[in-house]
Amino acid sequence: MSATRQRLARFALAGVVLPVWLLGGSLVFGALRPGYAPLRDAISELGERGAPNALVWNIGGFGIVALLYGLYAIALRAGFGSGWLFRLAVLQAIFIAAGASLDCDPGCPPVPQTTTMLGHMIVGLAYFAITTVLPLVAWQTFRRLPEWRPYARPSLAVGVLLVALFFIGPTLGQDRVGVWQRVVLVIAYAWQIAVAVHLRALLGRAPVDVGRSPDQFAAETPKAAVPGG
């Protein structure tokens, strides 16, 4: 395996690390903050204005996640070209980074009191919107690629579920924001981890030409061994 292929394969693992970093880190920081309830409070409240360790969370939590998204996007580009899977991952990185720099008001109220809170709300909603539709975009790509076809139907099912949860969220009330966020992210990240692991396997043994189209990738890459496939 060449050095470039090894590096790209490692970049794919960023898609595995970032869910653990974000969800695990939010639990640790939440435990360190008196009165914080993960099933009630939004993850963004860990970095709200005036919160203990807010700067540490915004840089070491959201900031690191944005960096990991960037690395994962590079791996996606190597595997699928510069199409929508790559572009959406880049947008996820941008919106997470923007959310870190635009801290929310104390309590992250549903009605913004400041322009920074309004900005945080916009980029936060955009991040969750992309996260929910990403499996549907992937389904369109996966069903055309032999080595990804076993992942197509599961991606469709996950995408439909996430979109439904996205529209259900506003009806749950402010005191259930935390549980809604974490349910959505656990489902989305479980799917992402499965994709990242398979992408790493393909990048680790296939010739890599960054920027290839999905059709070129399908023609050049041997079919992966998928359990049950």
**Of residues 206 and 67, which shows the higher confidence score?**
67
> In angstroms, rounded to a whole number, what is the distance separating the alpha carbons of residues 25 and 57?
8
Q: CA separation (Å) from 165 to 99, 123, 212? A: 21, 18, 34
Q: Model pTM greater than 0.75?
A: yes
What integer pLDDT is reported at residue 204 of this predicted model?
A: 86
Indicate whether 171 belongs to any domain.
yes
What integer pLDDT is reported at residue 48 of this predicted model?
A: 92
pLDDT digits (tens, 9 = 90+) for 186-203: 999 999 999 999 999 999
Domain of 206?
3-220
CB-based contact 53:32 (threshold 8 Å): yes
Indicate whether 225 belongs to any domain.
no
Indicate whether 228 belongs to any domain.
no
Indicate whether 216 belongs to any domain.
yes
Query: What's the residue count for the chain?
Result: 229
- pLDDT over threshold 80, residue 116: yes
What integer pLDDT is reported at residue 207 of this predicted model?
A: 59
Buried b (16+ CB within 10 A) or exposed e, 168-199: ebeeeeeeebbebbbbbbebbbebbbbbbebb
Indicate whether 229 belongs to any domain.
no
Indicate whether 226 belongs to any domain.
no
What integer pLDDT is reported at residue 5 of this predicted model?
A: 79
Binned at pLDDT 50, 70 and 90, residue 206 comes out as low
- pLDDT over threshold 60, residue 209: no
Indicate whether 85 belongs to any domain.
yes
pLDDT digits (tens, 9 = 90+) for 22-52: 999 999 999 999 999 999 999 999 999 888 8
Instruction: Tell me which H or E stretch contains 209.
Output: none
CB-based contact 185:19 (threshold 8 Å): yes
pLDDT digits (tens, 9 = 90+) for 143-159: 999 999 999 999 999 99
Nearest to residue 54, comparing CAs of 93, 118, 105, 113? 105
Indicate whether 227 belongs to any domain.
no
- Residues 6 or more apart in contact with residue 170 via CB below 8 angstroms: none
What integer pLDDT is reported at residue 41 of this predicted model?
A: 93
What is the number of structural domains in the chain? 1
pLDDT digits (tens, 9 = 90+) for 168-185: 998 888 889 999 999 999
